Structure 1
Amino acid sequence: MAESDGLITIGVLARASGLTASALRFYDDCGLLVPARVDPLTGYRYYTEAQRERAALIRRLRTIEVPLDSISDILSGDTGRAEQLLDEHVDELRRRARTAAEIAEQIKQTLGSMGDGVTLSAALLAEAFEQVRAAAANSREIPVLAGILVEASANSLTLTATDRYRLSTRTLVSRDRHGGDWSVVVDAGDLTPIIGWLRLLDEIVAAPTDQGLSLVGDGAERRCRVIHEPFPDYRAVLSSLAPVRTRVVTARKPLLTLLEKSSATMRFEVDHTGLTVSDSDHRHHLPAAVTGSAIDLSFSITTLLPAIHTALGPDLMLDIAAPDLPIVLRSATDGDLTTLAMPTWQATDRNPKP
């Protein structure tokens, strides 16, 4: 039906723009790239051909960490305003000693002898391993929970870990792909030296082998042991979450700064004016785009801080169902990261217990 209507699916747009499907859903929820049509029965999103260019521009702007509100202004059609915002952003990047330089040299890999393989940024893979392994189990009581699920499909590589109390999943956009879909569960305990090695490289090829997961870069190879047990169906966990009651989009860095200076429990008060964060000694108001009902909830710093510390990009989206149910923290740049964090229930007048 979509093809005859001149529309394209979210999967086609993802491959054409270099964004993942879940990143496109993130930008839909933010109002930055709203589908031309959503099927009322299936919920499938469809886009016009003209939206390919906008999606590609969003991808480029997010690569250099342009905030969501600035992207909206840049793409509004006012060329002068767009140039001003871009110049200001680049100046800010220089002041923070960041660069957006092109990769000076690309390492070419021979994929023919490796069968199924995915080529991607070694630095991003190292970052993703570091982020999701915090949610892997420390004990071996259930061996597979001490592992990280690595899945290759379409134009992406997805890493997921869970210890049944926490869950973290990140998707990376691949640079090249050879062969079919595959998945393995790697032992998280093997990753510390491999992460250090990956950070020294520009590009890596990941491929499954009989001996484990093979990582090849700059003429060298490392292997990760695999755990031969079925990984929990984390997608079922995510799809069964309660409906979102309140959504908050706020800048990640100011929130992270507040949490790093606090201890014990932090209280979040969300209403139409934004987000107020407080502990026993301090109270701070942060600008935020809020949709939905006012709500109060509390978090243990040990639960919330790691989730926000490892989030991607300058912006953070919090999807809140209730003050006693897991919240979903979402962020997107160079792929996307989703983390579940459990609040500490505290009844208030604005939070009647159902």
Structure 2
Amino acid sequence: MTGDGLITIGGLARACGLTASALRFYDDCGLLVPVRVDEVTGYRYYSDAQIDRGVMIRRLRGIGVPLEVVSEILNADGARAERLLDEHVAELEWRAREAAAVARVIKEEIGAGVVLSAAVLAAAIEQVRSAAASDRDIPVLAGILVESGADSVTLTATDRYRLSTRAMAPVRPSGGAWSVVADAAELDGIGSWLRGSDEVTVRTLDDALVLTDGSSERRCGTIDAAFPDYRAMLAGLGAVRTRVVTGRDALLAVLEAAGSASVFFAVDQSGLFATCDGQLSSAGYPERLARLHIPATVTGPGIELAFSPRTLRPALVSAIGPEIMVDIVAADAPVVFRSATDGELTTLVMPTAITNSKEYGA
């Protein structure tokens, strides 16, 4: 709480059961806009009255309500909101019970370990793993940065062409902030073990990342090197020029049809137009990709850019939920992919150079 009665983004995150990164995402979406943003620091401040709205957004998104329907429910009159919620009431009641159960088990901070949902951690490892380097030319890039703080645990990986970062709200926070670079290869086989547990305590010990589920333990080696400053990388991307919200499956279908050929996207207010590498003959790629239209909501000016399926496909496969938010600064700058279902997973993908333009139509 600040001196003027406003709540910091961290305070609101704790009050709502969200992470700070999720609140920034909902600000971008217009669902939960801060009362005030400091012009100098960029810090966001909220009011007590926004706690209930944040809790409602968390619950609605937790049961898979699409973003546009969340907005409708929040802004609708009582009767219409009830009609919209009727389709989700059974799942909503389950989520409410889960939230109550989580609230009952939160206790005083314990030790240096942080307690996470084992299934959420397993999914997060899989989501960022593909962004870690497959070789060890630069050893630290073959690792996954694990950061534990008061409000969240964040996993981050990058191979210089891609960057993926995922934040998770802990079941119980650790006694202090810590970070370590875990060897990504040693985390590869841990998913099945995690999915057999409810909760897992994660801590560092000597030269290992230690995970305990109460009955057994797994250890992962660490890499003693400084991880790249990915936050500075994200902050230095520049202002978003064009924002696109579209379906993940439609984009994956394009990449599947394209095979290994680069895919070009022309973005305008009517959506996306996709085609294969312009250097191929018309017989060199599927006819259905000659100029495939993908429905999308576009904010900002039109733009053309291209991607290699090798770098774009992992970003889409690991995304949470069916919707993708794409933030574009320029055709030659890293493009930010965020899951429209949950702003806690962010992936940067570097476009390829457009060497041969094609004719695009609306």
| CA deviations over 1:258-281 (Å, ceiling 9, x no partner) | 433432222212112222333352
Unmatched segments (≥5 aa) in structure 2? 277-284
Q: CA deviation at 1:85?
A: 2.4
Contact 1:311 / 1:331 at 8 angstroms: preserved in 2?
yes
SS across alignment from 1:135: coil
Give the letter aligned to residue 27 of structure 2.
Answer: D
Partner of 1:346: 354
Answer with 4-13 or 80-89: which moved more.
80-89
Q: Which of 270, 273, 276 lines up with 1:273 in the alignment?
A: 270
Which residue number in structure 2 is paired with residue 59 of structure 1?
Answer: 58
In the aligned structure 2, how far is the partner of 1:140 from the partner of 1:149? 15
Residue of structure 1 equivalent to 2:173: 177
Counterparts of residues 65-144 of structure 1 (less than 5 Å): 65-88=64-87, 115-144=111-140
Preserved contact between residue 273 and residue 292 of structure 2 (Cα < 8 Å): yes
Return the offset for 1:233.
1.2
Deviation per CA, 1:92-128: give whole Å up to 9, x if none: x9xxxxx96966999x89999x830111110110111
1:13-55: per-residue Cα shift (whole Å, max 9, x none)? 1111111111111111111111111222222211111111111
Q: 1:111 to 1:43 in 2, by over 3 A?
A: closer
* Change in 2 beyond 3 A, CA 1:103/1:215: farther
Among 317, 320, 326, the alignment partner of 1:318 is: 326
| 33-42 or 320-329, which deviates more | 33-42
Q: Does 1:227 align with 2:226?
A: no
1:156 alignment counterpart: 152
**Alignment-derived partner of residue 96 in structure 1:** none
Query: Residues 331 and 14 (structure 1 numbering): CA distance in 2 closer, same or farther, change over 3 Å?
Result: same
Task: Report the identity percentage.
Answer: 57
Q: Which moved more, 1:283-292 or 1:310-319?
A: 283-292
Offset, 1:311: 0.8
Letter in 2 for 1:304: L
In structure 2, what residue type is equivalent to 1:231?
A: F
Q: TM-score, normalised by structure 2?
A: 0.86
In structure 1, the partner of 2:336 is 328
TM-score, scaled relative to structure 1: 0.88
> Are residues 199 and 27 of structure 1, via their aligned partners in 2, closer, same or farther at CA, if it must alter by over 3 Å?
same
For structure 1, the 5+ residue unaligned runs are: 94-98
Pair 1:197-2:196 in alignment = no
Shift in alpha-carbon separation, 1:193–1:11, aligned structure 2, 3 A? same
CA deviations on 1:66-85 (whole Å, 9 max, x unpaired) are 11101000111322322332
Paired residues, what number?
Answer: 342
Could you say which residue in structure 2 is the equivalent of 1:213?
209
CA contact (8 A) 2:15 2:51 kept: yes
- Residue 251 in 1 paired to residue 250 in 2? no
Corresponding residue to 1:290 among 283, 288, 298: 298
For structure 1, which segment, 268-277 or 149-158, has the greater mean C-alpha deviation from structure 2 after superposition?
268-277
State whether residues 115 and 207 of structure 1, in contact with CA within 8 Å, keep that contact through their aligned partners in structure 2: no
Please say if residues 216 and 222 of structure 1, whose CA atoms lie closer than 8 Å, have aligned partners that are also in contact: yes
Check the 8 A contact 2:270/2:295 in 1, yes or no: yes
Q: 1:334 to 1:153 in 2, by over 3 A?
A: farther
Once the two structures are superposed, residues 326-352 of structure 1 have per-residue CA deviations (whole angstroms, 9 ceiling, x without a partner) of 1011126567111111112226599xx
8 Å Cα contact 1:67-1:314 kept in structure 2: no
Match of 1:29 in 2: 28
Three-state SS of the structure 2 residue aligned to 1:23 is helix
CA RMSD of aligned residues (A): 2.8
Change (3 A) 1:170 1:189: same
Shift of the 209–52 alpha-carbon distance from structure 1 to 2, 3 Å rule, reads: same
The amino acid across from 2:47 in the alignment is: T
For residues 158-216 of structure 1, the C-alpha deviation after alignment (integer angstroms, 9 at most, x for no partner) is 00111222211111111111310011111111112212211111111111111411111
Instruction: Please tell me whether the aligned partners of residues 173 and 334 of structure 1 are also in contact (alpha carbons under 8 angstroms).
Output: no
The offset of 1:129, in angstroms, is 0.8
| Alignment CA distance shift 1:38-1:50 (3 Å) | same
Task: Report the Cα distance in structure 1 between the residues aligned to 2:248 and 2:95, rounded to whole angstroms.
Answer: 20
CA contact (8 A) 1:278 1:284 kept: yes
> Which residue of 137, 143, 148 corresponds with 1:147?
143
Residue deviations 1:237-292 (CA, integer Å, cap 9, x gap): 11111321111122333333443343222221211222233335223333322221
- Cα pair 1:201 1:218 within 8 Å, conserved: no
Name 2:184's counterpart in structure 1. Answer: 188
Structure 1 residues 131, 115: CA separation in 2 closer, same or farther (over 3 Å shift)?
same
Retained in 2: the 8 A contact 1:132–1:160?
yes
Q: CA deviation at 1:319?
A: 0.8
